Amino acid sequence: MKRTLLLAALFALLGAGAFYAVYYKKNNNASRVSWDMDFSVAGTEKIFKIFLADRLGKSITLERQADGRWLCNGKYPARPSAVNTLLETMRKQVVSYIPPDAAVKGMVKSLASEGIKVELYGKDGDKIKVFYVGGVTNDERGTFMIMEGAEQPYVVHVPSFVGQLRLHYMMNEIDWRDRTIFSEKPESIQAISVEYPQQRSESFKLEKTGEANYAVSPFYSTTPVSQNPQRKGAAEAYLLQFESLGVEAFENENTLRDSVQALIPFAIVTVKRENGSEKQMRFWPLSFESRMDDGRQAVNRYFAATDSDFLLVQERVFGPVFRGYRYFFESGRLKN
């Protein structure tokens, strides 16, 4: 009997000890990550500046503006989806495992030769964190990272994400640029002109003549002025098309750029704002597809150009902009 009681007490003591060990590990050790393993940034809303630099001399600076938008290299609006993906990656990235000693040498070599330095700053310029992003594991499920000042590299991943995290730390400026070309408030537009060099009669000018009043006239003086009434709401609906127009890709390095821009464009669209600034785009048909209903060829993509960029745009996005002069007027009525 005495032995039974002794064994019971021993098991109870061991059980209590096991419970305490598990509980302590769960609530203390698991939540305490050593500084050189702490790659995640829980409060990404506190990040106001991200600086990326590689070993080739390239650098990217992303800065949060007062209105919440991000600026790339002090020049271009940054693409929101790209910035959000990076912030989400930094919020969730954690150590997957500590690499074996035999692999450390190769990881350090990778970080030294192709590592990307990541510096994070707060609103007042205070440094939040600095780490390096290197290559990937053979199965491309883990990414090599090391904290600044540390000696031990780690394999880092984002739980539930399959792929290399390095792709989110992009080093090409063009990959960070916002692809929105026109983002105009209709009420801030003073005038829009659309010129079709090879269809002069369909070219037009749309101008604000008063509060919510717009007049549409031929672009060329040789085009007869329409005698039909202007369609109610057509001008206002047209202006709405310019609230958000984005391009498919930047093609500034395309070898066809000079030869395409030497051609007569299909259309020239110019938007003038009330503050006196303006933006112009020129378009050249690039590719065609057969319509399912009648088999005729229809444009589905265009090359386009602004003063500084050569672009690829889609017909499904910019098609509503390519209206003709007659679109804004009632159809002619037959007389009895």
Mean confidence (pLDDT) of the chain = 88
The pLDDT value given to residue 270? 98
Strands (E), the chain: 49-53, 59-64, 70-72, 76-77, 94-97, 116-121, 127-136, 143-147, 154-157, 180-182, 189-195, 204-210, 213-218, 245-246, 249-250, 267-273, 278-290, 297-305, 310-314
Confidence of residue 10 (pLDDT cuts 50, 70, 90): very low
Q: State pLDDT tens for residues 27-58.
A: 433 445 789 999 999 889 999 999 999 999 99
Residue 292's pLDDT band, with cuts at 50, 70 and 90, is low
Q: Residue 110: its pLDDT value, please?
A: 85
Q: Is the pLDDT of residue 149 over 80?
A: yes
DSSP string, 251-267: -TT-TTHHHHHTSPPSE
pLDDT at 66: 92
Q: Is the pLDDT of residue 1 over 60?
A: no
In a 13 Å sphere around the CA of 143, the CA atoms on its Cβ side amount to: 25
Of the pLDDT bands very low, low, confident and very high (cuts 50, 70, 90), residue 145 is very high
| Residue 20 clears pLDDT 70, i.e. is over it | no
- Which region among 102-116, 175-189, 210-224, 291-305 has the lowest average model confidence (pLDDT)? 291-305
Q: Residue 197: its pLDDT value, please? A: 97
Neighbours of 182 (CB within 10 A): 18
What's the rounded mean pLDDT across residues 285-305? Answer: 79
Residue 232 pLDDT > 60: yes
* Distance in angstroms (rounded) separating the CA atoms of residues 233 and 135: 56
Give the DSSP H or E segment for 20: helix 2-27
pLDDT at 325 over 60: yes
Q: Please report the sign of the dihedral spanned by the C-alpha atoms of residue 283, residue 284, residue 289, residue 292.
A: positive
Q: Measure the CA–CA gap between 137 and 100, rounded to whole angstroms.
A: 13
Distance CA 147, CA 152 (A): 8
Would you state the pLDDT for residue 303?
A: 97
pLDDT band at 250 (very low <50, low <70, confident <90, very high): very high
Token pair, residue 89, equals 């990656």
Percent of the chain with pLDDT over 70: 87
Using the CB atoms, write b or e for 151-179: b if 16+ within 10 Å.
eebbbbbbeeeeebbbebbbeebeebbbb
Rg, the chain, Cα only: 30
CA 327 to chain centre: 34
Per-residue pLDDT for 332 more than 90? Answer: no
Going from N- to C-terminal start, the domains of the chain cover: 36-176, 181-328
Distance CA 160, CA 18 (A): 30
Cα(78)–Cα(100) distance, rounded to whole angstroms?
39
Single pTM value for the model: 0.78
User: Which helix (DSSP H) or strand (DSSP E) does residue 27 occupy?
Assistant: helix 2-27
How sure is the predictor about 290, in pLDDT bands with cuts at 50, 70 and 90? low
Residue in 247, 265, 242 with CA at minimum distance from that of residue 321: 242
